Amino acid sequence: FILIGFLAFHAGITQSLFDAARKWFGFLPGGLAVASVFATAGFAAVSGASTATAAVFSRVAIPEMLRAGYSKTISAGVVAAAGTLATLIPPSAILVIYAIIVEESVGRLLLAGFIPGMVSALIYVGIILVWAKIDPKVGPPIKGYTWSDRIKSVPGTFPVISVVLIIFTAMYLGWATPTEAGALGAFVVFLMALAKGMKIDALKESLLETAKLTVMIFSLIWGVLIFVRFLGFAGLPEHFTNFITSLPYEPWVVMLMILLAYAVLGMFMDAIGMLLLTLPVVYPAVMALGYDSIWFGIVVVKMAEVCVVTPPIGLNCFVVSAVRPDIPVSTVFRGVGPFVIADFLTIAVFMIWPEVITWLPQTMMN
């Protein structure tokens, strides 16, 4: 899935996706920022990596927004925040990691992330529209595109749509496991890249970037598996579960305390490392409180990814600033502020209405 994302970028598929979104939504207040959110959501459906998504659209979307007169604050902020959509919209790498740690169904988790991912994207769009209405200078609308231009841009979205359909058809009709579906998707994108004239240097770079990110993730997983074995010998998960279940509070209060603890931890750790280190202890306690494993996976991953755009770690913010050295990381952090508030409200929605998460996997898998 990570390879799909890098191949799609180097093949120019992401640029076509953004161009189509720009022509359809550019007329809105903050239209290019809205287009960035929808294009990022589409790219997330073939990528699955938050930082890779932020890096790609720092190259694709930010230059377009700055040329159109957008402020650096909203341009950088929307790309950093929208990059987190890749953690919910399948195929999410971090959801797969969660499934490995807690031994949950990868298929159910990926399905469960779809609606919350779309909800998050729509809430981001709402934030942009309100922001641009209050201060029109931050994101002026782009005019001049006709219906003919919009219709002609639609074929540019076909590569992404076709890859998504191939992956999910193979996975949910039982033709392939998630790993096999990802490999099939990567092969299809590779053929598309060849058809678009991809150079050998671009292919080498895609493979190298994929290898680096994959090695990092699996190194963390191997280390955590050893760590979990030591935790088991010490009996820490059992002791923590007994402590949590003995607290004189309602389960939702305890869950809120756990999520707040994740918010604090996220200030000092990256999302994957935080989940790998805490889930072996926290997960059994959450299950003892009576919560659904799929629901908790989506909520905790959403909370972990909020931390990817909050200081002082804010990995996505540093990625955007690294790709765009003309934008200080402090500007990126200011830009993601409204989206972080929206993320906390989204998590509250998931806690109040868990069916937003659980309905689709229950319906599809049954």
Interior CA angle at 182 toward 179 and 188, to 5°? Answer: 145
Q: What is the pLDDT of residue 126?
A: 92
Q: Which amino acid is at 254?
A: V
Give me the mean pLDDT over the 175-191 stretch: 84
Distance of alpha carbon 310 from alpha carbon 335, whole angstroms: 11
CB 336 within 8 A of CB 292: no
Global confidence as pTM: 0.83
The tokens describing 358, both together, are: 């659980």
Q: What angle do CA 35, 56, 279 make, to 5 degrees?
A: 100
Helix residue spans in 246-354 (DSSP H): 251-265, 271-288, 293-306, 315-323, 329-352
Query: pLDDT tens digits, residue range 219-266?
Result: 766 776 677 677 667 676 666 667 777 777 888 888 888 888 888 777
Q: Is the pLDDT of residue 57 over 80?
A: yes
Are the CB atoms for 228 and 277 separated by under 8 Å? no
Residues 14, 20, 25, 30, Cα dihedral to 10° = 40
Q: How many domains would you assign to the chain? A: 1
pLDDT at residue 279 greater than cutoff 80:
yes
Q: Which domain holds residue 64?
A: 2-365
On the question of pLDDT at 24 being above 80, the answer is: yes
pLDDT at residue number 124: 92
Q: Are 111 and 99 in contact (CB under 8 A)?
A: no
**CA end-to-end distance (rounded Å), the chain:** 26
Residue count (the chain): 366
Mean pLDDT computed over 133-156: 80
Lowest mean pLDDT of 158-167, 216-225, 281-290, 322-331, name the range: 216-225
Q: For residue 49, which of 365, 272, 312 has the smallest C-alpha distance?
A: 272
Average pLDDT over residues 127-133: 89
* 3 state SS of 210: helix
pLDDT of residue 275: 83
pLDDT score recorded for residue 220: 65
pLDDT of residue 217: 67
Cβ atoms of 308 and 315 closer than 8 Å: yes
What's the pLDDT score for residue 366? 64
What is the average pLDDT value for the chain, to the nearest integer?
83
Tokens of 35: 């287009």
Report whether 266 contacts 301 (CB < 8 A): no
* CA quadruple 121, 122, 124, 129: dihedral sign: positive
- Identify whether the C-beta of residue 15 lies closer than 8 Å to the C-beta of residue 5: no
Write out pLDDT tens, residues 322-353: 888 888 989 999 999 999 999 999 999 999 99
Instruction: Bin 290: left if φ > 0, else alpha if -120 < ψ < 50, else beta.
Output: left
